[in-house]
Amino acid sequence: MACLDTTVLIDLAGRGNRSRKVAVEELLAALVTEGHALTTTRFNLAELYVGVHRGSDPTVEMARVEKLVSHLTVLEFDDLSARLFGSLMAGLLRVGRPVGDMDVLIASVAIAHGKLLVTRNQRHFAEIPGLTVRGYA
């Protein structure tokens, strides 16, 4: 099962350049062929909603986001995710390799649900132990 990061959703929506949209479409097609169900987290949706409300027409942007995520299962931040977040964040801080809170929240949900995280920003997640990441260019 694959958990799609915000970068994937933005590129899939065509908000980046054309080559990124093609790359992510090819990767997602391959993942589905491999038997992966496509998911995202509530935190990724929250990041998309920031973009909705920063746009020139939030009503149109909200409709785009809703259509984009309508076929995805949204993974929730449950107790296991919260415990993993605490452990991961403390460990990263202990070794002097802090990662952004939102990235650790997303990673904790992906790990708790046993998902592969798909992202264009592999560097953001590289220090998080126990997380399997698949990137694209």
Output the tens digit of pLDDT for each of the chain's 137 residues: 999 999 999 999 887 688 899 999 999 999 999 999 999 999 999 999 999 999 899 999 999 999 999 999 999 999 999 999 999 999 999 999 989 999 999 999 999 999 999 999 999 999 999 999 999 87
Q: What's the predicted TM-score (pTM) here?
A: 0.92
Residue 19 has phi, psi (to 5 degrees) of -65, -30
* Cα–Cα distance measured from residue 135 to residue 124, given in angstroms and rounded to the nearest whole number: 11
Domains and CATH numbers, the chain: 2-135 (3.40.50.1010)
Taking the C-alpha atoms of residue 99 and residue 94, their distance in angstroms, rounded to an integer, is: 12
Q: Are the CB atoms for 12 and 68 separated by under 8 Å?
A: yes
Instruction: Kindly report the backbone phi and psi dihedral angles of residue 26, in degrees, each rounded to the nearest multiple of 5, phi listed first.
Output: -65, -45
